[in-house]
Amino acid sequence: MTRSLQRPSVHSLLPGRYFTDPEIYKRELKTVWRSTWQWVGRVEDLPNPGDYLSCMLGEEPLFVIRTAEGALRAMHNICPHRGARLLTEARGNCTKLQCPYHAWTYDTEGRLLAVLQPKWFPDLDKSTIRLAPARVDTWGGFIFVNPDPEGESLIEYLAGYPEYLADWGHRWEDLREVDRSSFEEPINWKFIVENYVEDYHFSVAHAKSLVPLFDVQAIRTMPTGRHIPISVPYTPEAPTEPAMRRHWEAGGISYQGFLFPNMMINTGPDSVSVWRVVPLGPERTRLETVNYQTPEQYALSPYVRESWKKVMEEDFAVCRLLQQGVNSRAYQVGPLAVEHELGVVHFHKVLAEYL
Amino acid sequence: MTVHADLPRHVREVFLPSLKEPHRETAQILFEQIQKLEDLRTQSTTWFTEGQSAARDACQLELAAIATEVCEAYKQVIRVAQQP
């Protein structure tokens, strides 16, 4: 893992209109969201043949299904007959996929099995028609999908991120879901990412929530590939507040970080919180959070749902301020902090390559 | 409540039976109480009408606080049970 201590340059940042312009948003949908690996679920969500999950990556409807042979396949969720959406449920199980429009039927490998009224298609060669494939792969039990059928493998794309997470003392494959939440905000998705990948705001926005928990001075941002691992050590002394102490680990590190374009992983002393940033429009974003524990973690500390709404609101409040400021003719980004705002520059640099 | 079934199953079938008595039974009771409190909290969202969001949130917080306390007691029992 390489670590850059270069001085962040504001010259490489994207201009303000990139956070409001519908044209830029459309361009992102066609570049970023169509050709990157994105987390869509977990292996244990699809244990049986025929289990599937459907998802939207930008404007691309896709699904992942476990085939009769037990493999995972990702395909575009579009019937090649007339282009109708095939699977309409978020999750389910089916041995065959049937289009709700004209009942064309496919197997779990995407091969066309049957059409309604075959006599009406005298020249149809079923073997030439199949659902458009996407790529699917897994790391640590997380299922990733790339709508682009060609390009670098997931492991190449992850660019050393798994090695960073290997220092966490548990098997990622063993994680199981304990809780999930969702937040919708009038904020461009990139502001949510920017705010996540810098810790300069901690001592102001999170003075009472995260600062007693983490050694802010010792936070390290270590870009690798397109991604931004952030090592966040806990404070040397335990927080005085009992509720905070439960989230503190003596001498430990919270392995946090951002996987381009929209995944955030945060380890805690006895759980992991994984976030997904879902753009809904140029100025609207949903943040989905899913918490996981390994069976061993759950046995020692059964999950009790504690609300992180307060900390989330602290972040959303500052992101809303960014969104409110970005349309001003005086909008600008001044000098950025060495190390502690490095992630912002790295994110913009990576994004600029797609736009 | 969206806890994956593998987790409570592991606790009931593998972890708790591995503890020695009398801690096993105590931990078992506390674990089931945590489950009941979490179930109750899930159900409690239906006890309120749309205009009662403040009361609903207060109820959620109170039930979470009780579950957290029971969980702390559970963890202490586990620590004692795992002492050599």
Average pLDDT in the A171-195 region?
96
pLDDT tens track for A328-352: 888 888 888 888 899 999 999 999 9
For chain A, give the mean pLDDT. 92
Record: contact B61-A180, CB cut-off 8 A: no
Q: Please list every residue in chain B whose beta carbon sits closer than 8 Å to the beta carbon of residue A307.
A: 60-61, 64
ipTM value for the complex: 0.93
Please provide the DSSP assignment of A171-203 as one string. -GGG-EEEEEEEEEESS-HHHHHHHHT--TTHH
Average pLDDT in the A16-22 region?
92
d(CA A267, CA A165): 9
Record: contact A304-B14, CB cut-off 8 A: no
Single-letter residue type at A152: E
Q: Please list every residue in chain A whose beta carbon sits closer than 8 Å to the beta carbon of residue B1.
A: 179
With 0-12 / 13-18 / 19 or more C-beta atoms within 10 angstroms meaning exposed / middle / buried, residue A217 is: exposed
Record: contact A180-B75, CB cut-off 8 A: no
d(CA A103, CA A96): 11
Q: Smallest CA–CA separation between B65 and chain A, in Å?
A: 8
pLDDT at A305: 78
Query: A75 pLDDT exceeds 80?
Result: yes
For chain A, positions 206-245, list CB contacts with chain B under 8 A: 243
Query: A140 pLDDT exceeds 70?
Result: yes
Query: A170 pLDDT exceeds 90?
Result: yes
Record: contact A301-B34, CB cut-off 8 A: no
Q: Is residue A209 a contact partner of residue A336, using CB atoms and an 8 Å limit?
A: no
Residue A261, preceding peptide bond in cis (omega within 30° of 0): yes
pLDDT band with cut points at 50, 70 and 90 for residue A73: very high
User: How many DSSP H helices and E strands does chain B contain?
Assistant: 3, 0
Q: How many beta-carbon contacts under 8 Å exist across A and B? A: 64
d(CA A232, CA A257): 9
Please provide the DSSP assignment of A266-328 as one string. EE-SS-EEEEEEEEEETTEEEEEEEEEE-HHHHHHS-------HHHHHHHHHHHHHHHHHTTS
pLDDT tens track for B25-82: 999 999 999 999 988 988 988 899 988 989 988 898 888 889 999 999 999 999 999 8
Record: contact A304-B71, CB cut-off 8 A: yes
pLDDT band with cut points at 50, 70 and 90 for residue A246: confident
Angle between helices A342-354 and A189-196 (to 10 degrees): 140
In this structure, of A4-13, A244-253, A262-271, A314-323, the range with the lowest mean pLDDT score is A4-13
Q: Is A274 on the interface with B (CB under 8 A)?
A: no
